[in-house]
Amino acid sequence: MTRERPEPIFNAPWPALLAVAAILVPYVLLINASEATILSLALIPKAFWHGQWTGVVTMMFVHGGWPHALMNAAFALAFGAPVARLLGSGARGGASFCVFYLTCGVLSGVGYAALHPGSEGAVIGASGAVSGLMGGAARAMGGQGRVGPMFGPQVLSLGLGWLIVNLVMAVAGGLLTFGAGAVAWEAHLIGFATGVLLIGVFARGSGADGAATETIDPH
């Protein structure tokens, strides 16, 4: 009996590596940026509802320190790989991956702004988008590379674990951003739910064969 070795990072699908680069490269470029620059890129809910909408996108490219950026990059690689394999590594699949990632991030930001419409706290990081990859990966793993059940055991177990982690964050405060911005734990959960709900749509749009098996049957 032989055991399979873990897949080397360089064999990861290129869309997942692109997500990692989208986290780390901007962080390096902005590492010496002024506070005013960071704030101009962050999501500020009150400003969002006054017409400053770009923050729901630009916040994904700003992080509060190396631990914050590296953790998101590691999660993007781990959960982005199964999503990228599901959607395909061709141009169409790669484009679907990128739009899926950005959609999860944007909707998580909008959801957070809707929950805290008067907040002037700066929200930064790609955690909502990465959480979307987690939700999509849960369904891909539940379907063994195809779109699995929406309420399958992988989705429920990973979702419960992510809920517990985020409730701890809510109590413990800015562990990930080290005070550089709010810990938008609600955005993480919204991102996860968005990924679970939308991965089937993007799988169909990318022409993935596994899209045909999508189901909401919990069994």
Question: Which domains does the chain possess?
Answer: 12-213 (1.20.1540.10)
pLDDT tens, 130-186? 999 999 999 999 887 789 999 999 999 999 999 998 888 777 765 544 544 447 889
Instruction: Give the mean pLDDT of the chain.
Output: 87
Say if residue 216's pLDDT is above 80. Answer: no
Question: Residue 200: which residues within 8 A CB-CB, separation 6 or more?
Answer: 139, 147, 150, 211, 214
Residue 127 CA to residue 108 CA, distance in Å, equals 9
